[in-house]
Amino acid sequence: MPPLDDTIETDLVIIGGGPTGLFAAYYAGFRGLRVAVIDSLPELGGQVTAMYPEKAILDVAGFPTVKGRELVAGLVEQAAVADPTYLLGRSATKMTTGDDGVSVGLEDGTTVSAKAALITAGIGKFSPRPLPAADDWIGRGVEFFVPSFAPYQGKDVVIVGGGDSAFDWAVHLEPIAKSVTLVHRRDAFRAHERTVEQVRASSVEIITKAEISAIRGGSSVEEIDIAVGDEIITRPAQAVVAALGFIADLGPMKEWGLELDKRHVVVDSAMKTNLDRVFAAGDITEYPGKVRLIAVGFGEAATAVNNAAVAIDPSAHVFPGHSSEGS
């Protein structure tokens, strides 16, 4: 990793090291561009690595199913051919643009000087929504993400939430945990119907119109109280997963002069933003008909890099030929 307070020169700087950013890094190398990748997280993979590494992803072309961590590993290996400069655990705080390029300042004093920039920051910085009863138990049996299933072997697990994450984790933990209880404050769920039916058909206990009212234990969680209307029921729990979603924030990007639609960056069909030499791809973008899928992000990354290549070198062509073609 380059030292702090350094100035790094490159052709394309990518802000965001998730799946879209990693594929963009590969494609930049394919176009013969030098590339640097910035991410505030200490590991590559973005949300997938931080939140869903064991989740089965079903909508990536060519993979009937692939775990999040396996997809990220493949993308990192693919991007390696571009020999990217990775700047991890460092947030981009400033951006200035000019006729000759883009300058990105990091919170540690590092400056990245590039000929173009590509923003692939997903939802920006994200933090989990809190579970009020769990404030004193975080790290002592209460977690917000499930990066690995092994620690839950043989435990009584309570999952709080009604979205895709809650139900995905219930599906994966049910075969290895002693018991799984899913608690949700409503009787309707936001998760995919197929996954909901899979959980309903399993041994998972689903308790709706309910909230966690108390957590008890010694050095770690031992049991919880669940308020269901006027009734309090108790369940054993050595692990509580608060899958209540997360709060996203664009942070300093809001001050860069980008045209925004709420918390998304507006782009055109070439993935150009309103700023010269600045492009965007993936979940962070907004345009008519936008669909937020990993597969869509991959296509947008290729479009963005190809158009950035022309901004960097006007004699280049937007379409470079197919990567499968020989030289």
Binding residues for FAD: 20, 39, 47, 52, 92, 126, 283, 324
Distance of alpha carbon 308 from alpha carbon 272, whole angstroms: 9
β-bridge pairing 210-217 and 221-228: antiparallel
- Integer Cα distance of 286 and 2 in angstroms: 33
Tokens of 258: 């980008």
Q: Which two tokens stand for residue 275?
A: 């700023």
Q: Determine the straight-line distance between the first and last CA of the chain, rounded to whole angstroms.
A: 32
Task: Report d(CA 213, CA 192) in Å as an integer.
Answer: 27
Instruction: Give the strands of the sheet with 156-160, arranged side by side.
Output: 142-143, 239-242, 156-160, 179-183, 205-207
Beta strand ranges found along 120-155 (DSSP E): 125-128, 142-143
Specify binding-site residues: 20, 39, 47, 52, 92, 126, 283, 324
47-72-293 Cα angle (round to 5): 55
In 21-61 the beta strands, taken as DSSP E runs, fall at 35-39, 56-57
CA distance 20 to 304: 11
The torsion defined by the Cα of 132, 137, 143 and 149, in degrees rounded to 10, comes to: -140
Nearest CA-CA partner of 124 in 93, 101, 155, 146 = 93
Q: How is residue 63 annotated by DSSP?
A: B
